[in-house]
Amino acid sequence: MLWSRTIHISTLSILFLFVTVQLQGVYSDMIHEIKTEHYVLRLDEVTGEIKSLESKGQEFVFSSDQPRELFKLRLRNDNGEAVDLSSLQSSQIRFSRKDDGEKKETQIEIAFLQIDKKPIDVTVFVKCPLESSLTYWTMKVKNETGFWLEHIDFPVVVVPNDLPNSGGDARIFWPGGEGVVVEDSELREKSWLRWQPIEHPTMGWNGIYPGPAQMQFMAYYTPRAGLYFSAHDPKGTPKGVEFHKHPSGGIYLDFRLFPGPVCETEYTLPYPMVLGTFQGDWHDAADIYRNWWENSAMYKPPKLEENKMVPDWFFKSPVIIMYPVRGQRDLGVEMTPNPEYYPYTNALPILQKYAKELSVPVMALLMHWEGSAPWAPPYVWPPYGDLQDFVHFCDELHKTGNLIGLYASGVAYTIRSNTDPTYDMTKEFQEKRIVQYVAHAPDGKPAENGVCAGPNAQRIGYDLCPANEWVKEVVVNEIAKIVPYKIDYLQYFDQNLGGNCYRCYARTHGHPPGPGPWQTESMKDLYRRILELIHQNNSNMLIGCEANAAEPFIPYLLFNDSRSYLSLAIGVPVPAYGYVFHEYLNNFMGNQNGTSHFIDEEKSIYNMHQRVAISFVQGDMLSLNLRKDGQIAWEWSSAPWDKGPDQEQILTLVRNLNLWRTGNGHSYLFFGRMLKPFAYSGDKDVPMITPRNDIIHFRSIFTCRWAYKNRSAQFLVNYLPETQKATIHLSENYRNNIMLYNQPNSTTPPVSVKPDNDGNLTVEIPPLSAIMLEWQSL
């Protein structure tokens, strides 16, 4: 049995423990325990599992009577068949330890020998700098089975399930969907976004990094202490970054590492897995991660203020206006042109009205515009219908200072469209043998599990593997057709979530047969080619993807369709992506597709107000989706065509918040470095209700805090249609020289304010707007 201590793990293995200890200072006398001022770490002396990690009286590891793995491995044979192994199947385990007083660190080495009685050994190395709150874990695999190594789950960390829904006070931070705080471990399992293992055939919205999980860290924290868990991998190698129940109890913070796959007999993990403690909440964990990322070797763009690739229009903070040229939803065959938006020039009066009412340029970001079929990659050009009218439409937008953007659908191949039956590429697919370029499953056959592909999706087809030269040429050539038409923004990589490359097990594409670093490198090479094309044509068109760009792709994808609202299926969205990366790029609010799957929009009457405010505090540009007659919709596609929020309130909220981006808050909201905000009180709970009558709690005031050069500012956002008061609680160093801005424009000067002796400052926030508190010196 996998869980037996007696069959695979001999109790005599303790006799093999050997110690290389050089005592220089005060160290634990137990080989498997490390004590510092920051934490106490204890490994099980028989299994090697993480038995306990404690800090400030807080235990981070769920206690179980059943043994747990320290790591798991998946091997595959030449037929693609999987063999799963774990540390619990080791025939023998050996510990060694070295305490180095000069380096002020402890090193533990654990050898797991003859796993499942096979010729495979794993050695785990744990480095613990004694003056740091972080520990560093790596491993070496010696594999003489003849099978290749597909993935590694390491190290296995299981935290207690003491979230608020279970009566506890802990929370989990997960980096999917730009960042979410989990308070109810069961909420996610009630929607289609429920947890699935990161393996074939699972696709789409889950913890794939680099992809819809844009960062490589998680956290578990309580008011007493927090646990930081991360991969510090500067090459952005693919991983699964997930949380879910563990079979032995507790919540598994699950890192699945995809190293290649590795066909060689020896493999050493080239980056550390980092496990440590901190004080605070997700902001403090993000501080650790941001500090690593900024000092890592990962390629980064210049900061936004210095980036010459960013066009001037970007800094005018246009509001993005999205609508379908034809049809009303993603699915279905009703693709009649909408008279409000086709011919294309019919939409000009509507767009000009919004530009006037919002007092900023707008970008018309078109859906269902493709001349192929809606969401039918890779071919999109020419646009649907009258090309001359489309060109005139773009010209008129630009003449009035407005902008044009287009959605497309990424690196995939459409054989037949399910939304427009007249689009059929079966002949080309067969004649050019395009099946050779599609993503393949482990059994060597074309993978049937493509994103947005299938009989109940937008198309019949496959994801393409961008390791193939033909695929890169097709994508670049399609974009080359668009560049001359002076499009301002092309979201070509919609459905390549986070800019990612989907897994492929083909043996004929020039990459190893499975997930690995080649995925990240293939997409980066494709993006480099696209940017070269754009620059060679003297264009300043920006390229983007669905969901914010994952960190390896940020230098290439500088404007993206944020999907933070999808976190509503899991918990409370938090601006973690902006916290780490905002100085390098701003994204936009996105088309909000699918919100109604997670939120009952009719019962949650302020849900769109809240989503707008969430986007603002993330540092995103704002957006609106239009429905019939140019009215504002709850979202794109899922909501009924004839329903929407309070039109005037949403328009007022978007206008007021965006004016801060173009007015007094401009430097912070474009170029600022996000800081942990000061606490505040006095607001109320405005929950969102799910279609299953679960409650997601939201404060009635949102906040964000930024630093820019020698100044800092905190915004308080009131998304409700009535005035609110709040008391902000300032630390001692921030109680002087405070200026309060009640309006975003320069015509209303700020006023000097001062808190009471305890640092409490009460402010009034006008309805559907925000205020800004500014400190001139950090």
DSSP letter string, 177-209: TT-EEES-TTGGGGSTT----SSTT--SSSSEE
Q: How confident is the model at residue 334 (pLDDT cuts 50, 70, 90)?
A: confident
The predicted structure's pLDDT at residue 85:
98
Question: What is the structure's pLDDT at 3?
Answer: 36
pLDDT-derived band at 13 (thresholds 50, 70, 90) equals very low
Q: Return the percentage of the chain with pLDDT > 90, whole number.
A: 91
Tens-place pLDDT, residues 415-466 = 999 999 999 999 999 999 999 999 999 999 999 999 999 999 999 999 999 9
Look over the chain and give the mean of its residue pLDDT values, rounded to a whole number: 94
Q: What is the spatial distance between Cα 310 and Cα 585, in angstroms, rounded to a whole number?
A: 9
Checking if the pLDDT of 18 tops 70, the result is: no
Does the pLDDT at position 25 exceed 60?
A: no
- Looking up tokens 């796993």 gives 115
CA atoms within 13 A of residue 273's CA, in its CB half-sphere? 25
pLDDT in tens, 57-68: 999 999 999 999
pLDDT reading at 6 higher than 50? no
Distance CA 192, CA 211 (A): 18
What's the CA gap between 620 and 675, in Å, rounded?
16
Average pLDDT in the 195-204 region? 94
Write b or e for each residue in 356-381: b if 16 or more Cβ atoms lie within 10 A of its Cβ, otherwise e: eebebbbbbbbbbbbebbbbbbbbbb
- Residue 116 φ/ψ, nearest 5 degrees: 55, 30
Residue 316: its pLDDT value, please?
Answer: 98
- Residue 333's pLDDT is 84
253-276, pLDDT tens digit by residue? 999 999 999 999 999 999 999 999
What is the rounded distance in angstroms from the CA atom of residue 715 to the CA atom of residue 294?
Answer: 25
Tell me what the mean pLDDT of segment 542-553 comes to. 98
pLDDT classification of 778: cutoffs 50, 70, 90: low
Whether 740 contacts 748, CB under 8 Å: no
For the cut 90, the answer to whether the pLDDT of residue 161 exceeds it is: yes
Q: By percentage, how much of the chain surpasses pLDDT 70? A: 96
Q: What share of the chain is helix, strand, coil (3-state, %, to 5)?
A: 20, 30, 50
Q: Are 233 and 297 in contact (CB under 8 A)?
A: no
Does 12 have pLDDT greater than 80? no
Q: What is the pLDDT of residues 336-358, one digit of tens each?
A: 999 999 999 999 999 999 999 99
660 — pLDDT class (breaks 50, 70, 90): very high
